[in-house]
Structure 1
Amino acid sequence: MAASTIMWLDEANRTTQFELAGTHPDYRRLGLGRATLLHAMHLAQEAGARHMTVACLGAPGHPTARGLYCSVGFREFTRDAPLIKSGG
């Protein structure tokens, strides 16, 4: 498999959540991730989605992921803070 994404449609809220869009390392920088997301977004719209979200590892350490999602029209909405529970 060269590229893939998972999407979940919430019909009641007309929202699609994308997870884990990715491309095999041997096929990166060929536009496959972008094409996969654009096709999935089209399918989501056909299924009734009017809003789309993605949980992106867009922190400074993952600029490529953020760039991919921004290239297909996603924009930053919020940032999650990791929750950590120390032992003890």
Structure 2
Amino acid sequence: MAPESTRTTVSISRETWMKLSKLRKGNQTYDSLIAEIADQALIHIEEDEDWDVEKVRKQLNIIEKRKKYHSMDEVFPDV
């Protein structure tokens, strides 16, 4: 975990927190999970000029409708 002097607080809704909690692997920290999501998004942006936030949102909406959550690798197999 980062030293206290380099940490910050991020306010998120309970719904978002629940989604993130379902994506965690074992004892993974939220910091680690969010960093993993950001890293994957940045890699995808660098590799694909046609990357679109709406594509990600649509996929997340599909997951929400199913009420079934998957790992990041399952949701974004091409990343």
TM-score range, shorter chain: 0.3 to 0.5
Instruction: Return the structure number with greater relative CO, CA threshold 8 A, min gap 6.
Output: 2
Q: Which has the higher strand share?
A: 1
Q: TM-score, normalised on structure 2?
A: 0.36
Structure with max Cα Rg: 1
